[in-house]
Chains A and B, each alone.
Chain A
Amino acid sequence: MHKLLASASKELLLLTRDLGGLAVLFIMPLLLVIVITTVQDGTFKTIKQNKIDIILVDKDHGEVSQTILKNLKSSNMFNIIEHVNENEAQKQIQNGKYQLAIIIPENLTSDLNLKISENVAGILAKFGVDEEEVPQEKSEINSKEVKLYFDPATQFSFRNSIKSGINQMVSKIETKTIYKAFQEEISDDPLEEIFDTESFISFKEIIPNSGKEAMIPNSTQHNIPAWSLFAIFFIILPLSINMVKEKNQGTFVRLRTHPVSYATVLGGKAVVFLVVSLIQFALMLLVGIYLFPLIGLPQLDVSGRLPLLFVVAFFAGLAAVGLGLLLGTIAKSQEQSAPFGATFVVILAAIGGVWVPVFAMPKLMQTLSNLSPMNWGLSAFYDVFLRNVEFIEIVPEIGLLTLFFLVTTSTAIIYYKRKNAV
């Protein structure tokens, strides 16, 4: 115990003597979480509040195009710039001035009405409703295309959401036109309302809460756990560099002549770097609670969750420290440990679901994500932050994180012993 305390005390001294390194250790993760949350919150606001300029080329000038225009305007997402020339609109998109141009084809309204009228008349004739009229020959009407020109730089998800929005709009117009055609065929009074044209099915967003209070997650609630975890795991860099430095300084070699176990040496490092990761996490929470509202970001709500959050942070820190100890033991130079450590953390974050949710990944990556300690940590954080669970419900995740620490640290000790056996 005396040797472990002395080791931890030495590590603490080494850390506090490197003020620049210490600042990087604490400030960079905070900067990271502030920047990421601001960017993501900005994207959210772009869609919700800031309007996107889009071009509309209306070649139809009919009811359908007017309905599309009205719906686009009422969505409050777009500033509509009306153009007359499709080629000109295409050019503007190509050179990146606008992200989207919608081209409504000629005679869309008249052709749609004609097509639907013919279909309705045909159906009614089959049922014998419209007996006095002999069905006419069907006109040759080609299907119509609403063209969407996208800036190639636009994100796939943005393109998809716009496409599905326009599709929904067009379907609604088609349905209303069908109802209208039936009404015209059946009733002589155009004001008589036979059909209710409003949508019968609507959507309601509900977050299941199992009887407990559950929150609607905002960008802060999503980002703080994800990026805190990322920062906690980034501790493998300074930790492994610290160990490689000791090898190069010769102090590790000197320690091998001392009656002290490698586990004790690692223990001293683990204690200090675990405390560092907890301080990092506490600073992240403080930023989310106090700084974010001041800079216009949503406030982090930790009410009633603080002890469990620190439990998760502790075990995530333990896993990160274990990985750092293993890397520091194996790496021979800073040129090995620094790039490997940085890249490996990014890979762990990627497969752990920090950027893209696990369910949205390909099957192989979903399987791989089960092996990422960041995935276990993130699941535990989301359980506490967003699902408001009890301690017992995060035991599987923190159990895995502890196992990861034990496996990595034991591997480091075994590797060291084999390498330096006499």
Chain B
Amino acid sequence: MIQINNLSKKYKGTDFFSVKDLNLNIAEGEIFGLLGPNGAGKTTLISMLSSLLKPTSGSFKINNLNYVENQKELKQLIGTVPQEYALYPSLTAYENLSYFGSMYGIKKPLLKEEINKHLTILGLSKFSHQKIKTFSGGMKRRINLIAGILHNPKVLFLDEPTVGVDVQSRKAIINHLKKLNKKGTTIIYTSHHMNEAEEFCTRVAIIDHGSIVIKGDPKKLINEQPEVKHLEDVFLSITGKALRDYA
């Protein structure tokens, strides 16, 4: 489904590559986790795959569509859930979703149906006509997710979709994503929650300094390492315990 070839990104004014010569293939129907410490290059990679950032070099294809030549078709195919709540605070949940759904070209009767379906599944139907600015962090995260999946994308990119939410909201989000995956959506997501990734992903890749250090089935990765019980132990053994601060 996704073929990434020697993809690199170097931001202006920096002397290092945020993503360096990255090669990766993700198959249809996978739930692929991109794990890594802060500044490892996860968000940069997802931003390039979502057509938000121009790669410095290399290329990628999604569903055999080239990201330069087939941008419009590609955008119709993918869904993106950014890390920030990219919503209009003064509009209601329904108005926000209706607008972003319309931008995918979904017409009214179907759009209304899709919005109500997702709101019900994620427990927000009774708040649909409340303004976003009155929502809690967990509620905003769920609306943020719905805005990216209204058009039933073939590929869904999620940048830390469960950051800063309570356990209940996290469970609701993960369960919904699993259902989407069962219906055929390929999911690529970044997270700092190792337990969540271990339980949720069919495959993970640990990225550090812009390159993939290790990738594979999380359970296999755990089994391959001696005296390791969780994915978090694998992560720490590979990336180290030093703090990663970037100014």
Residues in chain A within 8 A of chain B (CB atoms):
2-3, 6-7, 9-10, 13-14, 17-18, 249-251, 253-260, 420-422
Q: Which of these, B53, B79, B91, contacts A13 with CB under 8 Å?
A: B91
Interface contact B103-A250, CB-CB below 8 Å: no
Interface contact B95-A2, CB-CB below 8 Å: no
Contacts of A255 in B (CB 8 A): 103
Identity of the chain A residue whose Cβ is nearest the Cβ of B131 in the assembled complex: A17
List 5 extra interface pairs beyond A254-B82, A422-B71, CB under 8 A. A2-B102, A249-B87, A250-B85, A254-B148, A257-B75
A248 to chain B minimum Cβ distance, whole angstroms, is: 10
Interface contact B91-A10, CB-CB below 8 Å: yes
Interface contact A251-B88, CB-CB below 8 Å: yes
Q: A3-B103, A249-B89, A251-B87 are in contact. Are A259 and B80 (CB under 8 A)?
A: no
Interface contact B99-A6, CB-CB below 8 Å: yes
Interface contact B103-A253, CB-CB below 8 Å: no
Contacts of A421 in B (CB 8 A): 54
Identity of the chain B residue whose Cβ is nearest the Cβ of A11 in the assembled complex: B99
State the main secondary structure of chain B at its contact with A.
loop
| A199 CA / B100 CA spacing, docked (Å) | 79
Q: A13-B95, A14-B90, A18-B90 are in contact. Are A258 and B103 (CB under 8 A)?
A: yes
B76 within 8 A of A: yes
Interface contact A260-B103, CB-CB below 8 Å: yes
Contacts of B90 in A (CB 8 A): 13-14, 17-18
B193 within 8 A of A: no
Interface contact B104-A258, CB-CB below 8 Å: yes
A-B contact count (CB 8 A): 82
Q: Which of these, A14, A257, A260, contacts B51 with CB under 8 Å?
A: A257
| 6 closest cross-chain pairs (CB), A and B | A6-B102, A250-B86, A254-B86, A17-B90, A257-B80, A259-B75
State the main secondary structure of chain A at its contact with B.
helix
Interface contact A254-B147, CB-CB below 8 Å: yes
B186 within 8 A of A: no
B78 within 8 A of A: yes
Contacting A at CB under 8 A, from B76-112, are 76, 78-80, 82, 84-91, 95, 98-100, 102-105, 107
Q: A253-B82, A254-B100 are in contact. Are A259 and B105 (CB under 8 A)?
A: yes
| A18 CA / B88 CA spacing, docked (Å) | 12
B28 to chain A minimum Cβ distance, whole angstroms, is: 20
Q: Which of these, B87, B99, B104, B148, contacts A259 with CB under 8 Å?
A: B104
Among A6, A255, A257, A422, chain B packs the most CB atoms within 10 A around the CB of: A257
B52 within 8 A of A: yes
B38 to chain A minimum Cβ distance, whole angstroms, is: 19
Q: A2-B107, A13-B95, A260-B103 are in contact. Are A254 and B80 (CB under 8 A)?
A: yes
Identity of the chain B residue whose Cβ is nearest the Cβ of A259 in the assembled complex: B75
B179 within 8 A of A: no
A421 to chain B minimum Cβ distance, whole angstroms, is: 6
| A385 CA / B84 CA spacing, docked (Å) | 52
